[in-house]
């Protein structure tokens, strides 16, 4: 068995078929076909065949990856949470449909399991490299043996919205938009007004507010698109706070740089300074924005504590010169003008009102 796992995870160089728009009804995994590489999925990106260990819900799966158990977080999708999960946010409650979707995903992959031979899937990394989220999960698309993109299938079937909160898909944005439009037109899954409406008095009745979430995600995606375009045109002038390699490159270049990102945490230092810890794939390589104790009054109007509230576009730019500090890369902020909210509406952060929110951070 060990040899089989090693062999499966060593097949990175083998071609693996990529999907076109999936059919409405999910097919069983298996049954090879000729390789189909669409323009949306550039050739040469790493593909790895992996055994599925466990399906948690629609967008979270455990697999055997390079000989070890690895937790996947599927890109561009965000299925509803199970009733047993408490996120602490009204924007993502546990729902009956979350339970149903998790069961559907488990059954979908269980149908491809025969005896000790587990279902296999391909992993696809749109960025051309492995990326982790803040919880250490591997971000990817799951490609089925018949060539379909499971992420896209979830949207097509109304199991998930097109989740672009962390950016539009760089390889299949139009496919996801079209799949979501079809699901909405057919009132599938989350787009059915009857979904999560209790059939009996006292039954769970939480629903997710997509009418508020989708515009919020789109605003964030627009900010990320603007960053990507500027990074393409001026690669030496900007850096991505979430990408440790981007931060290291900017540090090596020297000089002032505009860093794009969001705040992970805000805390007081023992000497009275403020630190804005930026969100990063590698917490040990995260950028720290330092505000000296005697400068804090200048920043008193900046609403850092509420910047990560639900329904608020919270990407921003910080301009400064990076240096290597005792705990990682730092930028010293002496003037509130160094910080500004990213597009679609770049404004002075001191004038950003605090909106009423429906949930926590």
Q: pLDDT tens for residues 50-80?
A: 899 999 999 999 999 988 999 999 999 999 9
- The pLDDT value recorded for residue 19 is 36
Does 86 or 285 have the greater pLDDT score? Answer: 285
Q: Rounded to 5 degrees, what angle do the CA atoms 269, 261, 338 make?
A: 70
Instruction: Please tell me the distance from the alpha carbon of residue 280 to that of residue 263, in angstroms, as a whole number.
Output: 9
pLDDT above 90 (res 335): yes
Q: Give me the sign of the Cα torsion angle 248, 254, 259, 263.
A: positive
Give the C-alpha distances (Å, rounded to integers) separating 20 from 135, 143, 148, 196: 31, 11, 7, 31
Burial of residue 359 (CB within 10 Å: 0-12, 13-18, 19+) is middle
pLDDT above 80 (res 27): no
Q: How many CA atoms lie within 13 A of 183 on its CB side?
A: 27
Helices (H), the chain: 2-9, 96-110, 150-156, 173-185, 210-233, 244-253
- The pLDDT value recorded for residue 17 is 36
CA 152 to chain centre: 15
Q: What is the mean pLDDT of residues 8-36?
A: 32
Instruction: Please tell me the distance from the alpha carbon of residue 351 to that of residue 303, in angstroms, as a whole number.
Output: 9
Share of the chain above pLDDT 70, in %: 81
- The pLDDT value recorded for residue 236 is 95
Q: Is 276 within 8 Å of 316 (Cβ atoms)?
A: no
Instruction: Please tell me the distance from the alpha carbon of residue 343 to that of residue 336, in angstroms, as a whole number.
Output: 17
- The pLDDT value recorded for residue 42 is 52
E strands, the chain, are 47-57, 60-65, 68-74, 120-124, 138-143, 238-240, 256-261, 263-268, 274-278, 288-291, 316-325, 328-332, 339-341
Give the position of tokens 């020297």.
Answer: 254
Mean pLDDT, the chain, integer: 81
Give the position of tokens 């079937």.
Answer: 157
Q: Which two tokens stand for residue 203?
A: 């039954």
- The pLDDT value recorded for residue 105 is 96
- The pLDDT value recorded for residue 12 is 33
Q: Is 32 within 8 Å of 23 (Cβ atoms)?
A: no
Give the C-alpha distances (Å, rounded to integers) separating 165 from 121, 130, 244, 360: 25, 19, 21, 16
Q: Is 63 within 8 Å of 52 (Cβ atoms)?
A: yes
CA 154 to chain centre: 15
Q: Which two tokens stand for residue 241?
A: 């706070």
Give tens-digit pLDDT for 163-204.
999 999 998 999 999 999 999 999 999 999 999 988 888 787
Domains of the chain: 2-208 (2.40.50.90), 220-351 (2.40.50.140)
Instruction: Please tell me the distance from the alpha carbon of residue 349 to that of residue 361, in angstroms, as a whole number.
Output: 18
Give tens-digit pLDDT for 252-309.
999 999 999 999 999 899 999 999 999 998 888 899 999 999 999 898 877 777 778 8
pLDDT above 80 (res 360): no
Q: Is 145 within 8 Å of 32 (Cβ atoms)?
A: yes
Instruction: Give 77's DSSP letter.
Output: B
Give tens-digit pLDDT for 93-137.
999 999 999 999 999 999 877 666 788 888 988 888 888 887 889
Give the position of tokens 């505000």.
Answer: 291
- The pLDDT value recorded for residue 22 is 32
Local confidence band at 312 (pLDDT 50, 70, 90 cut-offs): confident
Local confidence band at 48 (pLDDT 50, 70, 90 cut-offs): low
Q: What is the mean pLDDT of residues 13-40?
A: 34
Give the position of tokens 């400064």.
Answer: 320
């Amino acid at each position: 068995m060990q040899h089989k796992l090693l062999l499966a995870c060593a097949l990175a160089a083998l071609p693996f078929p990529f999907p076109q728009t999936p059919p409405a009804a999910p097919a069983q995994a298996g049954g090879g076909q000729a390789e189909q590489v669409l323009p949306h999925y550039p050739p040469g990106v790493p593909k790895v065949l992996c055994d599925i260990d466990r399906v948690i819900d629609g967008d979270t799966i455990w697999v055997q990856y390079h000989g070890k158990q690895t937790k996947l977080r599927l890109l561009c999708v965000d299925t509803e949470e199970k009733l047993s999960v408490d996120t602490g946010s009204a924007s993502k409650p546990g729902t009956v449909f979350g339970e149903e979707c998790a069961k559907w995903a488990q059954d979908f992959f269980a149908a491809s399991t025969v005896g000790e031979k587990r279902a296999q899937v391909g992993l696809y990394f749109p960025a051309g490299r492995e990326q982790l989220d803040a919880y250490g999960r591997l971000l990817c698309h799951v490609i089925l043996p018949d060539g379909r993109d499971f992420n896209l299938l979830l949207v097509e079937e109304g199991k998930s919205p097109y989740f672009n909160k962390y950016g539009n898909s760089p390889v299949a944005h139009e496919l996801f938009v079209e799949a979501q439009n079809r699901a909405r037109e057919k009132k599938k899954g989350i787009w059915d007004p009857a979904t999560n409406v209790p059939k009996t008095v006292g039954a769970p009745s939480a629903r997710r507010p997509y009418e508020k979430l989708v515009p919020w995600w789109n605003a964030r995606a627009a900010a990320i698109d603007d960053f990507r375009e500027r990074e393409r045109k001026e690669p030496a002038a900007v850096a991505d706070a979430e990408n440790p390699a981007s931060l290291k490159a900017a540090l090596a270049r020297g000089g002032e740089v505009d860093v794009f990102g969001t705040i992970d945490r805000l805390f007081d230092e023992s000497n009275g300074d403020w630190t804005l810890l930026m969100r990063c794939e590698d917490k040990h390589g995260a950028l720290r924005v330092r505000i000296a104790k005697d400068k804090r009054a200048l920043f008193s109007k900046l609403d850092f504590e509420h910047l990560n509230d639900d329904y608020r576009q919270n990407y921003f730019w910080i301009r400064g010169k990076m240096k290597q500090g005792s705990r990682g890369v730092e930028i010293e902020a002496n003037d509130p003008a160094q910080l500004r909210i990213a597009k679609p509406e770049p404004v002075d952060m001191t004038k950003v009102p605090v909106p009423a929110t429906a949930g926590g951070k």
